[in-house]
Amino acid sequence: MLFNYRYSGNSQVFSDAGSSGISFAPDTHREPTFFVGKLNKKIAFREAISSLHDVVVSDLRFKPKDKTAYKEWAAQQESLWLAQYMNNYDVDAANDRIKELETSLRLVRDEKDKVMGPFNKAKRQYFDYLYEKDKDAWFVLDPVISVHPDEVFFECFSQDESTYGKLSANYNVFREINEFECGTTNIDYSAALYDEFQKIRDYKETDFRIDPGGFQVQTSQEELYHEVKIDLPDSWVRGFLQVSSAMTLPASTFDLHPMDVYNFCSWLRRFKEKKGPRSIRFILEPGKPVRAVFEPWNKEIVCARSLYTGNQAREIRIWGRRRLLILERLIPIAKKFTVHLMGTGLPSFYVADLGDMQFTLGLSGWTANDWSRAGQFDLMAPRAEVSEGEKHKVYNALKSKWMSSGQELAHATGLNSATVLGALGLFTQAGKVIYDLHTGLYRLRELSREPLPMELLRFSSPEEEQAEVLVRENRVKFSAAEIIGSGTQLKGTVTANRAYHPVMTIDGDERMTNAQCDCDFYRQNKLYKGPCKHMLALRKAYAAK
Closest CA to 385 of 186, 201, 543: 543
Tens place of pLDDT per residue across the chain (545 aa): 445 555 555 666 667 766 777 777 666 666 778 888 888 888 999 999 999 888 888 777 666 666 777 777 777 777 777 766 665 556 677 777 778 888 888 888 888 888 888 887 777 676 566 545 544 444 445 678 899 999 999 988 887 778 899 999 999 999 888 878 888 887 766 666 777 778 888 888 888 887 765 433 333 344 444 444 444 556 667 777 777 778 887 889 999 999 999 999 999 999 988 887 888 999 999 999 999 999 999 999 999 999 999 888 999 998 889 999 999 999 999 999 999 998 887 889 999 999 999 999 999 877 655 444 444 555 555 556 788 888 889 999 999 999 999 899 999 999 988 889 888 888 887 788 899 988 889 999 887 766 665 555 556 567 878 888 898 899 998 887 888 777 788 999 999 889 999 999 887 666 777 889 999 999 988 887 778 899 988 888 887 76
Which pLDDT belongs to residue 153? Answer: 92
Closest CA to 190 of 154, 143, 231: 143
Q: How far apart are CA 95 and CA 76, in angstroms?
A: 18
Which pLDDT belongs to residue 519? Answer: 93
Q: How far apart are CA 491 and CA 19, in angstroms?
A: 66
Which pLDDT belongs to residue 377? Answer: 56
Which pLDDT belongs to residue 370? Answer: 46
The three-state (H, E, C) secondary structure of 214-263, written as one string: HHCCCHHHHHHEEEEEEECCHHHHHHHHHHHHHHCCCCEEEEECHHHHHH
Pairing of strands 314-319, 34-39: unpaired
How many beta carbons lie within 10 A of that of residue 431, not counting itself? 21
Q: How far apart are CA 194 and CA 52, in angstroms?
A: 10
Amino acid at 408: E
- For each of the domains in the chain, give its residue range(s) and CATH number, in order of start: 388-454 (1.10.10.10), 461-544 (no CATH)
Give me the torsion for CA of 426, 250, 436, 387, rounded to 10°.
20
How many beta carbons lie within 10 A of that of residue 481, not counting itself? 13
Distances (CA, A) of 37 to 24, 34, 140, 155, 305: 12, 10, 29, 20, 38
Q: How far apart are CA 466 and CA 535, in angstroms?
A: 11
Which pLDDT belongs to residue 216? Answer: 38
How many beta carbons lie within 10 A of that of residue 356, not counting itself? 17
Distances (CA, A) of 129 to 54, 59, 134, 192: 20, 19, 7, 13
Which pLDDT belongs to residue 466? Answer: 87
Which pLDDT belongs to residue 64? Answer: 63
Q: How far apart are CA 118 and CA 115, in angstroms?
A: 7
Cβ burial 519-539 (10 Å sphere, 16+ → b, else e)? bebbeeebbebbbbbbbbbbb
Decide: pTM greater than 0.75: no
Closest CA to 438 of 524, 340, 510: 340
Which pLDDT belongs to residue 140? Answer: 46
- Cα of first residue to Cα of last residue in the chain, in angstroms, is 36
Strands (E), 223-366: 225-231, 252-256, 279-284, 289-294, 299-307, 314-319, 336-341, 348-353, 357-363
Q: Give residues with Cβ within 8 angstroms of 223, minimum separation 6.
A: none
Amino acid at 255: D
Which pLDDT belongs to residue 344? Answer: 82
